């Protein structure tokens, strides 16, 4: 018995045999089953898919957990996932529906997901739509998210894919946003070369530069990504707007400050980022650094404060200095940088309360010097001279001080380089 007239038991056996042949690339058995019409070329299988290689769901929908462990797929999807070119050709020769999406993805999406450029070429030659959207609203280019998928992205662009296509969902990301988020500098360079808009905005008004700045900190490992730093450098060289603002008025500098990323802060400030730019809540980047200093173990907050202050960032309001101690008590160098930006500031009862006893004991010499200097006595003449010079240069400190004909040690002093003690 053949095709739809076959008994249920016979069809189940044929389906099982066909699936096993697919997995092992036994394309001859597949050919025989298709020629004998024991199975339809577009038969849908349910297979394990915990990593969602085959499935794509619409954003905003709740799904039970068990739904995410298996997916529906045709033989075409499976041949692409396994990278079995011979099986793929058998299916296409039998007129498999090339753009079907049994579980939200077409075969071309799967090819990009697994970074199989040979499968991608075959699919394109047989009429796969290069700008089609998955159920989640992603085009094939949006699935090119690893270094190994670079050839796939190149094939898509060379065949006419829209380099500025936005996801058909609530995020509206361009492919440049996607690779900026995943940290693929090779694709950033390629997309820009092919006409990608470096200042494209998503639905939240974020640019690729803002994406790269935010995702430069890998939160789980708490390490900074050199690939994302490189992408920021590249985008700035491509003339990306350094002071772009998202829907909350946050700039890329805010994102870098939130990560306490001194490498990016320096890069963005040198490129013309405004140190006092404020978000929708009236917070400048230096306040972001203050908020996250206690939870960024890999950071060097003192460098962040130093960079911002040397580029003209407004100082923390003196009556709120206890908040600096609350955030930075375990980072004496950071406290030193901030305290030395004031001509003079008097300690209050809140200061001592902000420093845990064990931290005070661990850094006793530093904190004794801090409270001694911030009593009723004036600061040293040398410090007051530093403040006068800094007030004159203001946001040009970072450029002006290195040009002064004074010893290097004095230049460091003027630029608030911490020494481990306050005097």
Rounded-to-integer distance, Cα 240 and Cα 35, Å: 57
63 shares its domain with 121: yes
The CA-atom distances, in angstroms, between 85 and each of 26, 82, 116, 118 are 11, 9, 10, 8
Distances (CA, A) of 244 to 232, 250, 331, 333: 13, 8, 31, 31
381 and 291 inside one domain: no
Q: What is the CATH number of the domain that holds 121?
A: 1.25.40.20
If asked whether residues 138 and 149 sit together in one domain, one would say yes
**Torsion sign (Cα): 398, 404, 410, 414:** negative
Structural domain including 246 reads: 164-314
For residue 320, tell me if it sits in a domain.
Answer: no
Q: Same domain, yes or no, for 51 and 156?
A: yes
Quick check: 274 and 314 in contact, CB under 8 A? no
Distance CA 273, CA 263 (A): 14
What is the model's pTM? 0.92
Of 261, 152, 263, 268, the closest CA to residue 207 belongs to 268
Which run of H or of E encompasses 149? Answer: none
For 275, the token pair is: 């140190």
Residue 319 lies in a domain: no
Asked whether residue 290 is domain-assigned, the answer is yes
The number of distinct structural domains making up the chain is: 3
- Spatial CB neighbours of 16, under 8 Å, sequence gap ≥ 6: none
**Domain stop point among 282, 314, 346:** 314
Place of tokens 């101690």: 325
The number of residues in the chain equals 423
- Answer yes or no: do 228 and 262 share one domain: yes
The pLDDT score that the predictor gives to residue 10 is 78
Q: Do 171 and 145 belong together in one domain?
A: no
* Same domain for 249 and 151: no
> What pLDDT does residue 1 have?
33
72 DSSP β-pair partners? 46
Query: Measured between alpha carbons, how far is 217 from 200 in angstroms, rounded to an integer?
Result: 22
Residues 168 and 152 in one domain: no
Residues 106 and 168 placed together within one structural domain of the fold:
no
Same domain for 17 and 116: yes
Question: Is residue 321 situated within a structural domain?
Answer: no
In a domain, 262, yes or no: yes
Domain identity same for 301 and 382? no
For residues 132 and 108, is the Cβ–Cβ distance under 8 A? yes
- The answer on 411 and 342 residing in a single domain is yes
**371 lies in a domain?**
yes
Domain end: 314, 341, 360, which one? 314
pLDDT-flagged residues of the chain (< 70): 1-9, 61-67
Question: Whose CA is closest to 423, among 361, 380, 363?
Answer: 380
Query: Residue 12: which residues within 8 A CB-CB, separation 6 or more?
Result: none
Choosing from 314, 336, 367, the residue where a domain stops is 314
Per the domain annotation, does 62 fall within a domain? yes
- What pLDDT was estimated at residue 364? 97
- Cα 173–chain centre separation: 13
Which residue, 274, 337, 258, 339, is CA-closest to 311?
274
Q: Residue 322 domain-assigned?
A: no
């Amino acid at each position: 018995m053949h095709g739809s007239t076959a008994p249920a038991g016979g069809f189940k056996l044929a389906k099982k045999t066909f699936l096993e042949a697919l997995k092992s690339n036994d394309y001859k058995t597949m050919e025989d089953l298709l020629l004998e019409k024991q199975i339809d070329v577009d038969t849908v299988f349910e297979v394990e898919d915990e990593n969602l290689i085959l499935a794509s769901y619409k954003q905003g929908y709740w799904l039970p957990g068990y739904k995410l462990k298996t997916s529906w797929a045709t033989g075409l999807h499976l041949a692409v996932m396994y990278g079995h070119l011979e099986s793929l050709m058998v299916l296409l020769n039998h007129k498999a529906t090339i753009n079907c999406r049994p579980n939200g993805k077409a075969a071309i999406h799967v090819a990009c997901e697994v970074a199989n450029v040979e499968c991608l070429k075959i699919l394109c030659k047989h009429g796969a739509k290069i700008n089609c959207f998955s159920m989640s609203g992603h085009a094939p280019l949006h699935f090119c998210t690893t270094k190994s998928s670079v050839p796939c992205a190149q094939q898509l662009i060379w065949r006419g894919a829209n380099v500025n296509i936005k996801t058909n969902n609530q995020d509206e990301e361009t492919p440049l946003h996607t690779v900026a988020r995943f940290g693929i500098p090779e694709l950033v360079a390629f997309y820009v070369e092919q006409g990608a808009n470096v200042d494209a905005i998503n639905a939240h008004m974020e640019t690729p530069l803002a994406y790269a700045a935010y995702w430069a900190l890998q939160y789980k490992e708490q390490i900074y990504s050199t690939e994302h730093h490189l992408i920021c450098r590249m985008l700035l060289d491509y003339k990306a707007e350094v002071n772009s603002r998202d829907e909350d008025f946050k700039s890329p500098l805010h994102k870098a400050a939130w990560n306490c990323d001194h490498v990016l802060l320096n890069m963005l400030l040198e490129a013309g980022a405004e140190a006092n730019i404020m978000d929708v809540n009236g917070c400048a980047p230096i306040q972001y650094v203050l908020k996250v200093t206690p939870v960024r173990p890999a950071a060097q907050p003192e460098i962040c404060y130093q960079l911002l202050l040397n580029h003209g960032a407004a100082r923390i309001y003196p009556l709120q200095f206890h908040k600096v101690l609350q955030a930075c008590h375990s980072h004496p160098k950071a406290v030193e940088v901030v305290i030395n930006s004031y001509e003079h500031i008097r300690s209050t009862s809140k200061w001592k309360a902000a420093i845990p006893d064990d931290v005070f004991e661990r850094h006793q010499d530093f904190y004794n010097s801090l409270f001694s200097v911030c009593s009723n006595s004036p600061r040293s003449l040398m410090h007051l001279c530093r403040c006068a010079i800094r007030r004159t240069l203001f946001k040009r400190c970072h450029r002006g001080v290195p040009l002064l004909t004074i010893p290097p040690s004095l230049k460091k002093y003027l630029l608030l380089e911490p020494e481990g003690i306050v005097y």
